Structure 1
Amino acid sequence: MKRYLATTAALALVSGPAMASGLDRTGQPIGIIFEEGNYAEFSFATTSVDLSGNDRTTLNPLGSATGDVGERFNMFGAGYKRDLNEQLSFALIFDQPWGVDVNYPTTGSLLLGGTTAQADSNAITALLRYKFNERFSVHGGIRYQEIDGEINLQGGAYTSIGGVYNVKVNKEGAFGWVAGVAYEIPEIALRAALTYSSEIEHDFNLNETFATGATASTSTQTKTPQSVNLDFQTGIAKDTLLFGGVRWAEHSVTDLVVPGLSTLAGRSVDLIDLDDSFTYTLGIGRSFNENWSGSLAFIYADVDGDDLVSPLAPTHGYEAIRLGVRYKQDNMTISAGIRYTQLGDAVASPGGNPVTNFQDNDAVSFGLKVGYNF
């Protein structure tokens, strides 16, 4: 059972969230801090998103189809963990926690065609873990993240601002912190870990371009959400593990108020409209022999509020199934996973005005992780 304990996090996370609530992509995992001994890993995941809808006929009698607005995106990750002594260990984690890739074809929706949104992030988390004894430990550290992006608004839904608007969000970095506690019973592979991640506030410089061709250099403050992750696992039979987790994220604090466009519109214009969410995971892992293990997990994201969403993130919750497999030989571990996500139906509603329905959409993710104990 102990042999399986250290591999479960890799199996559970290898295929990563395909498109989580809001802009959330990785769930900010810290499981590497619980790996046995000294350890390093590298991971890659790719997600293909099938995301399409139709204009509401009350606004567009043709009910124009949007075409596929979901762009494929890739994610990279890495981690390093080292034992400093019998009680203290250190981990360094790289992930890409937040992102969006949406592109409405100009030949599709009459109301949103030409609208695009792209945002990327990179984060490095430095953690320390202190073990009081075999069962109790605490962990915590700092997180530094950088974010940049670009949004282009176009189509009939934006006639009030001239039908075209662009804003570039210049890259900016900021710090946050992480703290948590864990309880373990190694004899039955039981571990429960509670981790809090603080919100991180960014001061972005913006470059706004309006329909007239006029430009403005402005700035705004934006927060990424605070979150709480509860992860657990326990042995339930020989070489068999039950695992799961709950993640809460306060996405409602994330906004993008654009000063130049707000002045033009005569009101505060927020381009991001997200709701808080809970994401639940439950799965089972099985060690088949000394080399091979596998896992199966179900994921459900429950999002607050109604199904009126920003056109830049036109989904509302999701359900997913994830299959992972792991091969271990000597000190090397190779994990792979596939995940199918059924995206929740939503109504794209710029400024709170429902314009386009999104239904029956999904995404498929593939992931690969290589780990090495030394």
Structure 2
Amino acid sequence: MKLKALSTAMILATVPMTGAFAAALDRSGQSIAAFLQPGNYFEAGISVLDPSVSGKANAGYTPNPAIPAALAGLENTSLSDMGEDYYFPSAALKFQVADNLSVGLLYDQPFGADAAYSVGDAGANPALAGLGLPAALFAGQGLFHDGQEATEVEVTTENLTFLLGFQPTENWNLYGGAVYQTIKGNVQLRGTAYGSTIALGQYNADMKEDSAVGWIAGLAYQIPEIALKASLTYRSEIDHEAATNEYGTSLVLTGLVPGPGAVYNENTTTKITTPQSVNLDFQTGIMADTVAFANVRWVNWEDFSIRPEQFGTVSEALGAAGLTPDNPNGFDLVGYTDDQWSATVGVGRKFNEKWAGNVSVGWDSGAGNPVSTLGPTEGYWNVGLGLQFSPAANYFIAGGVKYFWLGDVKAQPASMFGTGNSVAQFEDNHALGYGLKMGYRF
């Protein structure tokens, strides 16, 4: 069972490049497979994800303990698809500058979020408007909308990874380098789940793009004669301080009495630390022109949180007023209770000199349950198919598709973080991912 290195590279290049609807903010999976290709190599690709994430309000849900659930009229109401389609490109360039020295540049978008609830979802009983405060503040509002605007979130990151590899022998490759990362985001919270104008139901944050640098290190081992290759890669956390404009209305700042002090528009700084991660990749030939492959990924989401300054001020005021008993000392905009673990296994096969393909199965643990209303899924199972066409030996076009069964989850606003409490359930959801990649060896 002897496989040529180029043939093996052809088989593995077909691995579906569709990314994932993964735990927390994870997107690209941060692969360095292109850097471990033989010789000089370039690739570029794009992945698209089309999620369908809908749910319903909990039985017995009410926006305020003083309002009977039956009167509020929101319990068990449906929540429309809030998962937005998104795409992310990737590219890689690798040079074998000497027999034992390689350099590479990788581009990807490792983390992100894109979600929007619907103003068409059910609203609270309009009759609440005649009951005085605080009930009147919830009239017509849904869990995640205020009748005119809905809760939305968008986060984008971009990475440039600079790699230097040293190969002391044919079998070993030691590599490391720097990672330049940018991050930006926008969020608006609307609806009764965030306490309407009493609390954070009119909160907005515009986080300007910030850049920072981290590092990467790893090692790979290969036995080309049997198509065996294993690599272990560590990426550091990266610290950001994003200039942020926070604005909105929170009556808790004025003792629940309407007044100018409830309105804020503050320019602040938001500290964000994107998480450290470890990727373990393995492949081996199992018969002529056939390889088995596996990937295991760990991401440290348990230590990740975001608390913009004004958001923190409002959350602390809510705690001091006794309105958020689950977190009396304030709370974060986003946080997770667990680290993410994910795994993919599959088989790739070269059919002839022009065609190759693969099948794969993937699993993701999620990052806790209950989870934030801004990303209400808990991991997934998926199946993937990839197909590659090589018109000539030195270039190819590959496509891949994955179908995701998304994990059922209880969704909680930030004020309930760290408890088993929730406001809604999201079940039986799914996503479809697909992608295209082109590669060239020179």
- Which category of TM-score, normalised to the shorter sequence, fits these structures? over 0.9
Indicate the residue corresponding to 2:240 in structure 1.
Answer: 202
Alpha carbon RMSD of aligned pairs, Å? Answer: 1.4
157-166 or 218-227: bigger deviation? 157-166
Shift of 1:359: 0.3
Q: Is the 8 A contact 1:280 1:299 kept in 2?
A: yes
Q: Does 1:230 align with 2:280?
A: yes
**TM-score, normalized by length of structure 2?**
0.82
- The aligned amino acid for 1:7 is M
Compare CA radii of gyration and give the structure with the larger one: 2
Identity percentage of aligned residues: 37
Give the Cα–Cα distance (whole angstroms) in 2 for the partners of residues 304 and 24 of structure 1: 10
Residue 293 of structure 1 corresponds to 356
User: Is the 1:278–1:302 Cα contact (8 Å) retained in structure 2?
Assistant: yes
CA distance in 2, matches of 1:200, 1:219: 16
Give CA deviations for 1:22-42 in whole Å, capped at 9, x if unaligned: 101011111111112111111
Are 2:171 and 1:139 aligned?
no
Aligned equivalents of 1:71, 1:290: Cα separation in 2? 39
More strand, by proportion: 1
Structure 2 stretches of 5 or more lacking a match?
A: 63-73, 123-141, 250-261, 317-328
Report the equivalent of 1:186.
Answer: 224
Q: Deviations over 1:9-62 (max 9, x none)?
A: 432242222x11110101111111111211111101111110000011211554
* Aligned with residue 85 of structure 1, among 81, 98, 120: 98
Which residue identity is paired with 2:113?
A: V
Residue pair 2:49, 2:85 contacting (<8 A) in 1 also: yes
Q: How many Å separate the matches in 2 of 1:106 and 1:28?
A: 35
Paired with 1:261 and 1:78, the residues of 2 have a C-alpha distance of 37
Corresponding residue of 1:315: 377
1:283 counterpart = 2:346: yes
Identify which of 101, 107, 110 aligns with 1:94: 107
The yes-or-no answer on 1:69 pairing with 2:119 is no
Say whether residues 1:14 and 2:35 are aligned partners: no
Q: How far has the Cα of 1:261 moved from its partner?
A: 2.3
CA distance in structure 2 between the partners assigned to 1:304 and 1:121 by the alignment: 19
1:4 CA displacement: 2.8
Identify the residue that residue 390 of structure 2 maps to in structure 1. Answer: 328
Select 1:129's aligned residue among 165, 168, 181: 165
Asked if the contact 1:47/1:364 (under 8 Å) is kept, the reply is yes
For structure 1, the 5+ residue unaligned runs are: none
Aligned with 2:98: secondary structure?
Answer: coil
In the alignment, the residues of structure 1 paired with residue 45 and residue 350 of structure 2 have an alpha-carbon distance, to the nearest angstrom, of 21
CA contact (8 A) 1:257 1:268 kept: no
Distance 1:219 1:8, change over 3 A: farther
How big is each residue's C-alpha offset from its partner over 1:245-277, in whole Å with a ceiling of 9 and x where there is no partner?
Answer: 100000122211121122223243311122311
Seen in structure 2, the aligned counterparts of structure 1 residues 122 and 9 have a Cα distance that, compared at 3 Å, is farther
Measure the CA separation in 1 of the matches of 2:200 and 2:437: 47
Matching residue of 2:133: none
Label 1:184 to 1:162 Cα distance change in 2 as closer, same or farther (>3 A): closer
The superposition leaves residues 306-334 of structure 1 with CA deviations (integer Å, 9 ceiling, x where unpaired) of: x2001111111111111000111222211
| Partner-residue secondary structure (3-state), 2:180 | strand
- Asked whether the 8 Å contact 1:258–1:269 carries over to 2, the reply is no
Q: Secondary structure at the match of 1:164?
A: coil
